[in-house]
């Protein structure tokens, strides 16, 4: 069954709309009977603020759109691609899925995801994305089609040890401003001290699947 995606729906659910064929490719212009959609979400598979905020978003969406019932399904972030692929093969694809960035291209190219910007009326889409940062919108594109909207933005930061800079003969008041300078500083620190010049990752988390940060 098809359904429209209003501005509020995009805000709440517009992560990646999955599909198996043309029957899913266009959403209805009007809801004339109750529908139920599935929303695979990795925040729902966790405990804490992310889970609670997602539940609140879903409840607010359903209150504003009483003809639509959203079935929230908690799926671990790094199992999401496999789960979606398995359910598509079983002919029970999710309507919307929150995928991690590294799964986006595969979803668009191999899993039959429907481009969001083609699944809703052009005027609705233009109104929804008005004012959004273009580079943020580009993150959800595969080629020239938009398959996803960013659910959240992370803000990586660089910290440096001023004492280590001084020990290596570097000026801590003039830290590196480009990746090329980071490399030069790191090699200098490695050469002049017994410390590693650079380490990347997420504090408190092993690098592993979090290498998207780099």
**Stronger pLDDT, 195 or 26, i.e. the higher one:** 195
What integer is the mean pLDDT of 189-203? 86
Looking at the domain that runs over 7-146, which CATH code has it been given? 3.40.190.10
pTM (2 decimals)?
A: 0.67
Q: pLDDT tens digit string along 35-60?
A: 999 999 999 999 999 999 999 999 99
Which residues of the chain are in CATH 3.40.190.10 domains?
Answer: 7-146
Count of positions (residues) in the chain: 214
What's the rounded Cα separation, in Å, for the pair 161 and 171?
A: 11
Q: pLDDT tens digit string along 69-121?
A: 999 999 998 899 899 999 999 999 999 999 888 888 888 888 888 898 888 88
Q: How far is CA 74 from CA 38, 50, 204, in A?
A: 11, 12, 24
């Amino acid at each position: 069954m098809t359904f429209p995606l209003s501005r509020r729906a995009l805000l709440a659910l517009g992560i990646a709309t999955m599909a198996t064929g043309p029957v899913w490719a266009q959403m209805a212009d009007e809801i004339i009977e109750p529908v139920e959609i599935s929303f695979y979400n990795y925040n729902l598979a966790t405990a804490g603020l992310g889970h609670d905020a997602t539940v609140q978003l879903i409840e607010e969406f359903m209150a504003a759109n009483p003809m639509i019932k959203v079935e929230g399904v908690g799926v671990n972030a790094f199992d999401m691609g496999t789960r979606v692929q398995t359910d598509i093969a079983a002919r029970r694809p999710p309507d919307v899925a929150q995928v991690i960035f590294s799964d986006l291209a595969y979803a668009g190219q191999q899993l039959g995801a429907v481009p969001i910007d083609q699944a809703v009326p052009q005027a609705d889409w233009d109104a929804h994305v008005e004012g959004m940062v273009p580079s943020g919108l580009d993150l959800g594109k595969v080629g020239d089609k938009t398959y996803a909207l960013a659910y959240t933005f992370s803000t990586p930061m660089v910290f440096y040890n001023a004492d280590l800079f001084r020990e290596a003969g570097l000026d801590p008041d003039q830290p590196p401003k480009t990746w090329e300078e980071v490399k030069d500083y790191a090699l200098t620190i490695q050469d002049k001290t017994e410390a590693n010049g650079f380490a990347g990752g997420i504090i408190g988390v092993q690098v592993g699947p979090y290498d998207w940060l780099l």
